[in-house]
Amino acid sequence: MKWFLIVFCVAGIVQSSPIVSQNRSILLSVDPTQPSGELGYYHEGDMMLTYSQQIEFKNINKNWTGTLESKYQWPNKTIAFDFEGTWYTEETQRFYYAIMDIAAKTCIKFVRRTNQTNYIMVTTAESNCFSDFGFVPGIRIINLGHECFNSIGTIQHQILHSLGLFHTHTAYNRDEYITIKNIDDYYYKSYLEINYENSRFGLPYDYNSVMHFKETAFAYYGSPSIEPKEKGVKIGQRKLLSDIDSQLINRMYSCPYGQ
C-alpha cells in the first residue's frame, strides 16, 4: 500500500521534472560497484563539510558515544528537494526510484520543494558524485554527475550522506573487519581514517553496505587499499541500500520499526 501511494504521488511529480531528453541510454550494470566519481577531493572523497563539521569530525580524541549528533538529522524526518541542471528521463526516473526505495524501507519522507527554506538542491552541474553532510539550515547540495546515475545505489549513497550517514569503512570499529594498506599518510588521513563519530547504532559491521568503499579506493595502481578480513566477501556494492543500511537509518531517526 505504501509503495502504491508513493508511486501514485511520484507519477504526478515526474511530469514537472526538468527533463531535457527522452532518449538517454544508460546500461545498468548487473553488479554495480562504487564509481570513480565518488573518489574526489572532498572529505573522504565525496562529503562536503562545513567548517565547523571539519573541526568536529576530525577530533579523533573524542570518545565514541553511540549517538550521532541529532542536529544533523532532518526535522520531522522529512527532506524537501528540488532539481537543478540538465536531467535525462532515465536519470529522473532513477532518482525517484532511489528515494522511493528509501521511503519504503524507512520512515524518511521526501517531498518536492514548494516554499521550504531548508531543502536539498539536487544538481547535475559537476561530473563527480558528492554531497553536503546532514541537515544544516538552508540549501544543501547533492551533486550527481551523469555517471552517478548508472546505479541506484550510487544515488542512494549521496542521499544517505545528506541524511547524516558516514562511510561504513570509517566506522569506529572497522579495524576488526578490514585492513587498510597500500596507501600513503596523506591519502589515509584525507580519505580512510577512522571517524569516531561514526556510530553503528548497535548494528553489525556491514560489508554489503552501499556506504562502503570498494577494495581499490584510492589505491596505488589497483593494489587493494581496503581488504576485508573475512575471506570471500565483496565490498563497494552500489546496487541498492542493504538491509543494515535501512536499519541504521531507522535507528538514527528513531523510526517506529527501527529496533
Binding site for Zn ion (CB under 5 A): 46
Q: At closest approach, how far in Å is the CB of 167 from Zn ion? A: 5
Instruction: Tell me 169's DSSP state.
Output: G
Element (H, E) at 30: none
Q: Which one, 6 or 183, has the nearer CB to Zn ion?
A: 183
Q: Which one, 39 or 108, has the nearer CB to Zn ion?
A: 39
| Contact criterion met (CB below 8 Å) for 20 and 87 | yes
Nearest-CA neighbor of 59 among 193, 209, 192, 231? 193
Q: Which one, 46 or 101, has the nearer CB to Zn ion?
A: 46
Residue showing the smallest CB distance to Zn ion in the complex: 46
Q: At closest approach, how far in Å is the CB of 157 from Zn ion? A: 5
| Contact criterion met (CB below 8 Å) for 79 and 108 | yes
Report how far residue 30's alpha carbon sits from residue 249's, in angstroms, rounded to the nearest whole number: 26
Q: Which one, 131 or 247, has the nearer CB to Zn ion?
A: 131
Q: Please, what is the angle between helix 243-252 and helix 152-163, to 10°? A: 20
Instruction: Tell me 188's DSSP state.
Output: I
Q: At closest approach, how far in Å is the CB of 218 from Zn ion? A: 12
Q: At closest approach, how far in Å is the CB of 210 from Zn ion? A: 9
List Cα–Cα distances, 74 to 112, 160, 169, 197, in angstroms. 15, 12, 24, 18
Q: At closest approach, how far in Å is the CB of 42 from Zn ion? A: 9
Give the count of alpha carbons within 13 A of 212, CB side only. Answer: 29
Q: Which one, 72 or 88, has the nearer CB to Zn ion?
A: 72
